[in-house]
Structures are given as C-alpha cells and as structure tokens.
Amino acid sequence: MIKRALISVYDKKYLDKLADFLAKRGVEIVSSGGTYDFLNKIGISVKKVSDITGSAEILNGRVKTLHPAIHAGILARTDQLEQLEESGIEPFDLVVVNLYPFEQMVASNAGTDEVLENIDIGGPAMLRAAAKNYPRVTVICSPDYYDILVEQVEKNDGDTTIEFRKEMAEKVFAHTTAYDNAIASFLTERGEQFAEHLTLSFEKRKLLRYGENPHQQAALYLDPAYKLSSLARARVLSGKELSFNNLWDLEATMQMVGDFDEPFAVVVKHTNPCGAAVGRTLAEAYGKAFESDPLSAFGSIIGLNRVVDIKTAELIHKTRFVECVLAPDFSSESLELMKKKKQRERLCKHGIQSN
C-alpha cells in the first residue's frame, strides 16, 4: 500500500495531476527545494525533506536528500521495517524522481561550470536505492509513467504489482546508465582521446513492424550524443511507417548522398546502388541515375542531396513504384504531387543537403 511518497523532480510536467491524485488518496508527500515550492504553491499538502532530516539544505542545494532518514526510508526491506521504526525513521513506498537536464545543458553549449552544476547526485542515488528495493518500493523516473502509475494504484487498491515495480526498476537502471554515460562522454571529450571503457547508450525511438524477416522483431534506436544527420531523427512526410529493410536501404543511401557537393541522385536496391549520377540540376541527376538501370529501380530507394523541386518530383512520380525518397526537404508543390501515390513512403531528412 502506498502511504508515503518522496517526490523530487526537475521536470514538473504533469506533476500537479499526480500530486493531486496522491493527496486525495491520503498519501503523505515529502519533497525538497523547487518541488516543495511548486506543490505548496498549488495547494498540495507536502512536507519538507529538511523537516524529515532535521538538516537544512546546504551548499546552494548540492546536499539535501543525502541523509539516512531519506535513504533508509527508501532502502528498508519489508523484513527491516521494525528496525527502521526503532530508528525513528518512516518508510517511503513511492519515489518519484527525475534528473537535472545534463544533456540539454551540454547541447546548449553552456560553460563547464554550469554543465558540472547539472550533474545530478542526489537524484540518481534515490532512484537507484528505490529500484534496488523494488520488491517493496515503487519508483518512477519520468512523467511518461505517471498515467500508468495512477492506473496501477486505482486497480490495486492503493498499491502496485510486483511486475510493475520490477518494470519501473529496469527503466530506472537503464536511465541512470544513460545519464552516467552522457557525463562520461562529456568528460572524455575534454580528456583522453580514447577512454579506458567505451559504453554506448541509445534511446528507443519506435518499434518496427518486424525485423529483417517477418518472424523477427526490431526497433529503431537513436544515439543522443550523435548530433549529425541520422535516420532516427528523420520524419516520414507521407505514406506508411518505415520497415527494418527500408531503414537498412536508407542508411546505405544516406551514406552516398552526403558525399557529393553537386546535385546528386542515387537509386538503391537492397543496399546496392543500381544507378547514381550528378547533374547540373537535381532533375538531370535523377534522370541519369534512373536510366542507369530502370528495371532495378522498381521498388527502390531514391536518395537526393537537394530540396526536391517540381521538375524532379514529376520524374519520380512517373517511376512505377518507389519504396522511399530521401531528401533534405520537399517543396510544397512537389510534396503535393508526390503524396498522390499513397503507397510511397517519404522522408524529410535535414542536414544532408550540400551547398
């Protein structure tokens, strides 16, 4: 049964609704710093962490939750609750924490001092403690899971299932791993050329319909640290979602498209170019690429390194069947024309256009 919650979040999205839900169920809420101020301002009954610890926040908020009264309350197993009571400490049943925006701060090109201040210490400690103790404690590391938490509490008479707690714990350790990896990458860029340990961290963007074969499963992941062009950041402007094989072909296509400065077009089938050409215009380049092997162009991927104009669009529109067209963008006139073929899939891929 969730009777006591520790809430300490940087991202306060949807927090008002979650806190109101918990408060109406009689859950005692404990918060610190800005989270306390936010909840207090909207009229939610909330206790300060400092009232629990008996210690005020120090070092401009660097130290506030790193205290036995907090971590013992999170870490105590069910068979240790009596010991916890003897120590005068109350247990937490729910921990809701999200972290300082370290990666966003790095991306904003902030100075080193400001970036270092956004390395969260207390947040990961609380998340990891709660995730370690998932047999008793529910942990939530993102506003994306608030609705699922509410549903769990409503369905389970104020509690959550062990399966849900385990799932949330898994997400926490994946999240804190990615967070630490981002910090390590930031420091490595300013230190040794090659780190002793290289750990890559990827974010799942979406599940794919199937893998390389229909009986296989697949998903598309993004490397958040990679700031250049990538298919994971591309948008489908028209047509159905991309498949694993579409993405595989598009990756091969994109590798060629980025290598040319003059107007360039390539026709790719099963990761192999069956036609590629440069021209004075994009339409001329595509015409040459298509004529290299018109037969293989059926069901192909077309890659272009300029915004698609109406002349190029008219040529592509005449092609019998094209799986995808990859380009920096499409003029409104060309996009309107190409959308008429409903089965064709198209991507708008910014960042690969040559000057």
Domain match, 319 and 250 both = yes
Residue pair 250/227 in contact by the 8 Å Cβ criterion: no
Supply the CATH number for residue 254's domain: 3.40.140.20
Domain match, 114 and 263 both = no
Domain match, 16 and 112 both = yes
Token readout for 277 is 């050409």
Domain match, 22 and 69 both = yes
Number of domains composing the chain? 2
Assess if residue 201 is contained within a domain. no
Whether residue 29 is predicted with pLDDT greater than 50 in this model: the reply is yes
Q: Which residues pair with 322 in a beta bridge?
A: 300
Burial of 70-79, coded b for 16+ CB within 10 Å and e otherwise, reads: bbbbbbbeee
Domain match, 149 and 261 both = no
Which residue range is the domain that position 337 belongs to? Answer: 228-348
Whether residue 190 is predicted with pLDDT greater than 60 in this model: the reply is no
Give me the active site residues, please.
132, 270
Domain match, 67 and 20 both = yes
Q: How many CB atoms lie within 10 A of CB 51?
A: 12
pLDDT for res 11: 93
Whether residue 9 is predicted with pLDDT greater than 50 in this model: the reply is yes
Domain match, 136 and 8 both = yes
> Over the chain, what is the mean pLDDT?
87
Angle (CA) 7-13-19 rounded to 5° is 40
Domain match, 153 and 249 both = no
Supply the CATH number for residue 67's domain: 3.40.50.1380
Domain match, 49 and 129 both = yes
- Report the pLDDT averaged over residues 28-36: 92
Q: Which residue has the higher pLDDT, 153 or 336?
A: 153
Domain limit, last residue, from 189, 211, 237: 189
Residue pair 173/131 in contact by the 8 Å Cβ criterion: yes
- Report the pLDDT averaged over residues 23-37: 93
Coil, strand, or helix at residue 176? helix
pLDDT in tens, 253-292: 888 888 888 999 999 988 889 999 999 999 999 999 999 9
